[in-house]
Structure 1
Amino acid sequence: MRTKSGLAVLSAALTMLAATSSGALAQKKYDPGVTDTEIKIGNIMPYSGPASAYGIIGKTEAAYFNKINAEGGINGRKINFVSYDDGYSPPKAVEQARKLVESDEVLFIFNSLGTPSNSAIQKYMNGKKVPQLFVATGATKWNDPKDFPWTMGWQPNYQSEGRIYAKYLMKEKPNAKIGILYQNDDFGKDMLKGLKDGLGAKAASMIIAEEPYEVTSPTVDTQIVTLKSKGADVFMSFTTPKFGAQSIKKVAELGWKPLFILNNVAASVGSVIKPAGYNNAQDVISAAYAKDATDPQWKDDPGMKNFDAFLAKNFPEGNREDGSVMYGFNAAQTLVHVLKACGDNLTRENVMKQAASLKKLQQDGILPGITLNTSPTDFAPIEQLQLMRFQGERWHLFGDIISGEVGG
């Protein structure tokens, strides 16, 4: 009897152990790129080419993930960040995306930069059901969960930003003669559409000239001379950093004094304003959602202290005056939040589910009052901005935080 009883106890114990083990195994769900010790993430950046000023974003993110790894990683797993150069070339971006997904077998591609490059890989990524997560571009089309459920934006979209400038002009300069310089691609056209939508019926009379430029153009001097000659008293520069700096320099060189509006992606003090000359940038207007590290008002801000500590310890070569460094810091923080929320369910589907479940998330380098929010039907995490004016050697925020929701 004791033998039978012992066998029964042993059998029950083995059954319980098996159930516990299978339960533990069931809790861990992995897709390609994930093991018990690693999460492999892909990224594509223009480390070379006409938008190379943005390459610092990828370097900042790599440094931030190294910081996280040094602190023990995400739920015990180290981030393996694989970042390739596409030279801001869509065909090269396609090549690099295929390499990351099919050869490197990353879990997803994170924060790849540029509207043209992300547009080129969007159908491929969605066809493969691999997240194209928190893309580093403000094109409105990244917020389309119905048609592209594997693509999600991060920063405020360009149409929303254009609408905010329109609101400002309608209030402050309703009889403006607007001349617009814009990049001849989805990025520039999105900004233009937002502005025109915001101006409504007055767009036709207020906008007197539009001058596109190609991303491969060496300069935009000719376009700026043309806009001045048309009699514009408002100059809008919808440009990437290289051409934003050229815009500021050329307008000053011409002795032209229009109301100058520069879009957010070209508003970095370190990579645009400083090279163009502080004197040349006085009273330029832009919009922001992130803190400016050069602004003394954030000196004792806990978030800014975290940013400075990161630079000092993990990224000493990072230029705190460059807004792209703050951008990379904030975007990397958002991804870390999502990965922590995934727990041991590191499938591509769950990554998208957690990314679409952000609720009033605050990041160290985002302006107070602006939070990240997403849902299964809203793939636009940041939808608020505040206007700012360049004076002295830094931007000064003014006005209220404005919701830039399209249609809002």
Structure 2
Amino acid sequence: MKTFLRVRALLAGAALVLGATAAQAEAKYGPGTSDKEIKVGQTIAYSGPASAYGNLGKVEAAYFKWLNEKKGGINGRKITFISRDDGYQPPKAVENVRSLVEGDEVALIFGVLGTPVNMAIRPYLNAKKVPHLFNAAGSSAFNDPKKYHWTTGWQPNLHDEAKFYATQLLKLNPNAKIGVLYQNDDFGKDMLAGLKDGLGDKADKMIVSAQMFQPTDPTVDSQMVILKNSGADALFLFTYAKQAAQAISKAADLNWKPHTFLHLGSASIGATLKPAGLDKSVGVMTAGFAKDPSDPQWKDDPAVKEWLAWMKENMPGADTNDALYAMGYAAAQTLEQVLKQAGDDLTRENIMKQVASLKQFRPELLLPGSYINTSPDNYAIVTFMKLQKFNGKSWDFVD
């Protein structure tokens, strides 16, 4: 009997060892991942002309810290988030990314700000087969799975956003005279091209002036004077927060009140409209895709209440009127979902497979009706938009 029990115990022990070995064998790891950790890298503008957008990186860092402390990370693995300042300078961003990939050996790069910066780092990351995920940039070039398998955006793409504005303007005033202020890079040019596509054969006649600026220009005052003098009664601001605030303020100073459409990435009450002057910003329109927690219409929304409580606990003192915090929070949740789906296969290849396999996923700070569905042929993440207008305090949807 003792011999039988001893044999059974040995067999049970062997089964446990074999089971553990099999479980370990099933787990697959790539660079920057292990049974305890997932390394995520980021380069973003904490300084320079786009420094207002550094709030994206700050809230993402706070979210991953909270995940680690409150939920034990993702699938039992802590997130090590390494975020570095690039000052919105593409060469510095390339340097940061090389250091993150080759020095820190991160698993992926996440949430990089700006079309020109992402364009600069995209060739390197695709050559190295490193996931380049959920850029805070809207170029349609970031949804090209066949040519750039490792790169994806997050927000609605710039080209479609500008086409959306063209459609809305044609409803408001089909004979409008249009002035455009655009940043002289891939971001601004992509939006200008989308606007022209949306206007169709009316584009050349309707656009009476298009003025460009460099991201490092101290002001856009001279461009705004030219645009007003062109006789334009509709204004498109294809700019980031600093120049958008300057343009809105200058238009008011010039007593110029065109129908104004603002790039959604700059439609932040805290980062753009407050610096411009809330009174001067009344009537500005943009493409909404997320709930603005400062908007009274969402005051009883459970997701907004939960987010406000989270912000109070994890980012005390932060201005919750700044929509960038909500955007970064939702983007971080999207990465969390991808890594959850990846399970114990944390190879870079499987991470990209999960990026292309999001189904009916919706961070609850996105507008109702906005669901994320991706496929191997389509990496578009957030696609749903609604026109909204600023009333001096918050955004109202335009029917």
1:388 paired with 2:379, answer no
Give the partner amino acid of 2:291: K
CA distance in 2, matches of 1:244, 1:117: 19
For residue 279 of structure 1, give the secondary structure of its aligned residue in structure 2: coil
After superposition, the C-alpha distances for 1:336-371 in whole angstroms (9 at most, x for unaligned) are 111111111111111111111111111121111111
In 1, Cα distance between the equivalents of 2:285 and 2:12?
71
How big is the shift at 1:392? 2.5
Query: What SS class does the counterpart of residue 42 from structure 2 fall into?
Result: strand
For 1:91-125, what per-residue CA distance to the aligned partner results, in whole angstroms no more than 9, with x for missing partners? 00000000000000001001111111110010100
Secondary structure, counterpart of 1:179 in structure 2:
strand
Instruction: Give the drift of 1:278.
Output: 1.2
1:392 is paired with a residue whose SS is coil
**Equivalent residue, structure 2, for 1:320:** 320
Pair 1:134 & 2:134 matched: yes
Shift of 1:7: 10
Separation in structure 2 between the aligned mates of residue 279 and residue 21 of structure 1, nearest angstrom: 65
Contact map agreement 1:129 1:150 (CA 8 A) in 2? yes
Alignment match, 1:249: 249
Q: Are 2:114 and 1:114 aligned? A: yes
The aligned amino acid for 1:24 is: A
Amino acid at match of 2:304: M
**Counterpart of 2:151 in 1: which secondary structure?**
coil
Q: 1:87 to 1:16 in 2, by over 3 A?
A: same
- AA at the equivalent of 1:298: W
Q: For residue 92 of structure 2, what is the aligned residue in structure 1?
A: 92
Aligned partners of 1:301, 1:99: CA distance in 2, in Å? Answer: 42
Cα distance between partner residues in 2 of 1:78 and 1:12: 35
Matched, 1:188 2:162: no
Report the Cα distance in structure 1 between the residues aligned to 2:253 and 2:19, rounded to whole angstroms: 74
Partner of 1:376: 376
Contact 2:182 2:239 in 1 (8 A): yes
Question: Could you say which residue in structure 1 is the equivalent of 2:198?
Answer: 198
The aligned residue for residue 25 of structure 2 is 26
Determine the C-alpha separation between the residues in 1 that align with 2:46 and 2:225. 31
Residue 50 of structure 1 aligns to a residue whose secondary structure is coil
Structure 1 CA distance for aligned equivalents of residues 44 and 11 of structure 2 = 56
Q: Quote the residue 2:225 is aligned against.
A: 225
Match of 2:67 in 1: 68
Q: Which residue of 1 aligns with 2:354?
A: 354
Q: Quick one: distance in 2 between partners of 1:318 and 1:150?
A: 33
> Is the partner of 1:217 in helix, strand or coil?
coil
How far off is 1:87 after superposition? 0.5
Instruction: Please give the secondary structure, in 1, of the residue aligned with 2:395.
Output: strand
Once the two structures are TM-superposed, the CA of residue 35 in structure 1 deviates from its matched residue by 2.0
Offset at 1:373? 1.4
- Would you say the 8 A contact 2:296–2:394 is kept in 1? no
The equivalences for 1:273-292 within 5 A come to 273-292=273-292
Paired residue secondary structure (2:97)? helix
SS for the counterpart of 1:340 is helix
Query: Does the aligned pair in 1 maintain the 2:109–2:130 contact within 8 Å?
Result: yes
SS of aligned partner of 2:340: helix
Q: Is the 8 A contact 1:342 1:354 kept in 2?
A: yes
Distance 2:280 2:375 in 1: 42
1:41 alignment counterpart: 40
Encode CA deviations 1:139-159: one digit per residue, 9 max, x unaligned: 100100000010011100000
SS of structure 2 residue aligned to 1:146: coil
| Number of equivalenced pairs | 398
* RMSD over aligned Cα atoms: 1.7
Query: For the residues of structure 2 that align with 1:62 and 1:16, how far apart are their CA atoms?
Result: 42
Q: Would you say the 8 A contact 1:303–1:363 is kept in 2?
A: no
TM-score, structure 2 as length reference: 0.96
Q: Provide the C-alpha distance between the structure 2 equivalents of 1:315 and 1:235, rounded to a whole number of angstroms.
A: 36
Shift of 1:325: 0.7
Tell me by how many angstroms 1:196 deviates: 0.5
Return the offset for 1:4.
11
Q: Hey, what's the Cα distance between the residues in 2 that align with 1:15 and 1:301?
A: 54
User: Offset at 1:12?
Assistant: 5.8
Q: Can you list the C-alpha shifts for 1:238-279, whole angstroms capped at 9, x where unaligned?
A: 100000000100000001121111111111001110111111
Gaps of 5+ in 1: 400-408
Q: Which amino acid aligns with 1:22?
A: T
8 Å Cα contact 1:143-1:379 kept in structure 2: yes
- Rounded Cα–Cα distance in structure 1 between residues aligned with 2:2 and 2:69: 53
Instruction: Decide whether aligned partners of structure 1 residues 208 and 133 sit closer, same or farther in structure 2, where only a CA change above 3 A counts.
Output: same
CA shift in 2, pair 1:316/1:11, >3 Å? closer
Match of 1:82 in 2: 82
Letter in 1 for 2:252: A
Paired amino acid for 1:134: F
Q: Deviations over 1:153-206 (max 9, x none)?
A: 110000010010111112221111101000001110111111110110010111
Distance across 1 between alignment mates of 2:176 and 2:398: 21
Larger displacement relative to structure 2 (349-358 or 16-25):
16-25
Q: Distance in 2 between matches of 1:3 and 1:55?
A: 69
Q: Using the aligned pairs only, state the percent identity.
A: 52
Per-residue Cα deviation, 1:66-106 (whole angstroms, up to 9, x for no partner): 11111121111111100000000000000000000000000
- In structure 1, how many angstroms separate the alpha carbons of the residues matched to 2:15 and 2:69? 37
Distance across 1 between alignment mates of 2:364 and 2:257: 37
Rounded to whole Å, the distance in 2 between the matches of 1:46 and 1:14 is 55
Cα distance in 2 between the residues matched to 1:57 and 1:369: 24
1:238 partnered with 2:238: yes
Distance 1:143 1:7 in 2: 61
Aligned residue identity for 2:138 = G
How far, CA to CA, are the matches of 2:17 and 2:269 in structure 1? 60
CA distance in 2, matches of 1:10, 1:370: 55
Return the letter of the residue paired with 1:242.
K
The aligned amino acid for 2:361 is: L
1:57 aligns with 2:56: yes
